[in-house]
Amino acid sequence: MSEGHGIPASILEAITQDGTSSPTNPPPPSAPHAHRHHHLHPTSDRKHGPLPAAPARRESVTRLPKDILEQKNELGPKLVIFMVGLPARGKSYVCKKLVRYLSWSGFNTRVFNVGNRRRVMATSNSPPPPPPLQLPPAPMSRQSLLSQETSSVSSVGSSSPPSSVAGESDTASTSGSRLALPRPSKARSVASMLLSKISGAYNGPVPEPCPSPIMNVPAGVTTHDAKFFDPSNAEGNQVREKLALETLDEIVEWLRTGGGKVAIHDATNSTIKRRRALLDRLRQEKGIKAMFIESICTDKRVLDTNIQMKLQGPDYKNMPPELAMRDFLARTANYEKAYETISQEEEEQDDLGFIKLINVGKKIIAHNVHGYLESQCVFYLMQMHIKPRTIWLTRHGESEYNASGKIGGDPPLTPLGRRYAAALAKFIRESHPPAVLSRSATQSNPSLQLSQPTILPSPDSVTSLSVPPLPPTPTSLMPKSPSILTDDNFGVADPRSPLAIWTSTLQRTYQTVEQLDESGEYDVKRIKFLNEIYAGICENMTYAEIEAAHPDEYAARQRAKLVYRYPGPGGESYVDVIERLRPIIIELERMQTNVLIVTHQVVLRTLLSYFIGVPLDDMPTLSVPLHTLYCLKPKPYGADLVKYRFNPDTDEFDEIGDTL
Strand, coil or helix: what is 397? coil
Give which of 18, 25, 19 is closest to 538, Cα–Cα. 18
Q: Is the pLDDT of residue 193 over 60?
A: no
* Alpha-helical regions (H) of 258-371: 272-282, 300-310, 321-338, 344-349
The strand order across the sheet containing 523-526 reads 523-526, 499-503, 594-599, 391-395, 628-635, 638-647, 652-657
Q: In the predicted model, is pLDDT for residue 60 greater than 80?
A: no
Multiple choice CATH, 391-431+454-463+495-533+592-657, 3.30.565.10, 3.40.50.11540, 3.20.20.70, 3.40.50.1240: 3.40.50.1240
pLDDT tier at 19, thresholds 50, 70, 90: very low
Considering 322, 532, 553, 640, which one is annotated as catalytic? 532
Of the pLDDT bands very low, low, confident and very high (cuts 50, 70, 90), residue 133 is very low
> Which one has a higher pLDDT value, 635 or 199?
635
- Taking residues 413-439, report their average pLDDT: 86
d(CA 140, CA 146): 10
The residue annotated as part of the active site, out of 600, 627, 631, 640, is 600
Cite the residue boundaries of each domain of the chain with CATH code 3.40.50.300.
76-381
Q: Place 204 in a pLDDT band, splitting at 50, 70 and 90.
A: very low
* Residue of 269, 260, 252, 235 lying closest to 115 (CA atoms): 269
Catalytic site residue from 149, 230, 266, 572 = 266
Q: What is the C-alpha to C-alpha distance for residues 269 and 273, in angstroms, rounded to an integer?
A: 9
Choice among 18, 265, 294, 297 that is catalytic:
297
Question: In the chain, which residues fall in CATH 3.40.50.1240?
Answer: 391-431+454-463+495-533+592-657
Q: What is the Rg, in whole angstroms, of the alpha carbon atoms belonging to the chain?
A: 28
Which amino acid would we find at residue 241? E
Q: Which amino acid belongs to residue 655?
A: E
C-alpha 616/C-alpha 575 separation (Å) is 9
Residue 478 pLDDT exceeds 60: no
Calculate mean pLDDT across residues 258-266: 95
Tell me 466's DSSP state.
B
* Residues 94, 504: Cα–Cα separation, whole Å: 31
Q: For residue 349, what pLDDT is reported?
A: 81
The pLDDT of residue 71: 82
Q: Comparing 223-227, 336-340, 377-381, 437-441, which segment has the lowest mean pLDDT?
A: 437-441
pTM over 0.75: no
Closest alpha carbon to 555 in 3, 22, 181: 22
Q: How confident is the model at residue 69 (pLDDT cuts 50, 70, 90)?
A: confident
CATH number for the domain running over 76-381: 3.40.50.300
* Mean of pLDDT over the chain: 73
pLDDT in tens, 499-542: 999 999 999 999 999 999 988 889 899 999 999 999 999 999 99
- Inter-axis angle of helices 234-257 and 272-282, nearest 10: 30
Q: Higher pLDDT residue, 442 or 486?
A: 442
What lies within 8 Å, CB to CB, of 381 at 6+ separation is 94, 97, 98, 293, 355, 357, 361, 364
Looking at per-residue pLDDT, the higher value among 450 and 412 belongs to 412
Q: Which of 276, 296, 279, 282 has the alpha carbon at shortest distance from 341?
A: 296
Active site residue 631: no
- Asked if the model's pLDDT at residue 454 lies above 80, the reply is no
| Residue 85: closest CA among 363, 377, 356, 367 | 356
* Omega before 136 within 30 of 0, i.e. cis: no
pLDDT at residue 442 in the model: 41
* 269 SS3 class: coil
328/325 Cα distance (integer angstroms) = 5
Give whole-number Cα distances, 399 to 190, 413, 531, 574, in Å: 49, 4, 15, 22
* pLDDT at residue 323, as a whole number: 83
Query: Could you report the per-residue pLDDT of 602-632, keeping only the tens digit for each?
Result: 999 999 999 999 999 999 999 999 999 999 9
Burial class (CB in 10 A: 0-12, 13-18, 19+), 253: exposed
pLDDT, tens digit, 9 for 90 and up, residues 338-381: 899 998 888 888 888 999 999 888 899 999 999 999 999 999 99
What integer pLDDT is reported at residue 243 of this predicted model? 93
pLDDT of residue 224: 63
pLDDT of residue 461: 43
- Based on the residue annotation, tell me whether 532 is a catalytic residue of this protein: yes
Per-residue model confidence as pLDDT tens digits over 279-337 = 999 999 999 999 999 999 988 888 887 777 777 777 777 788 888 888 888 888 888 88
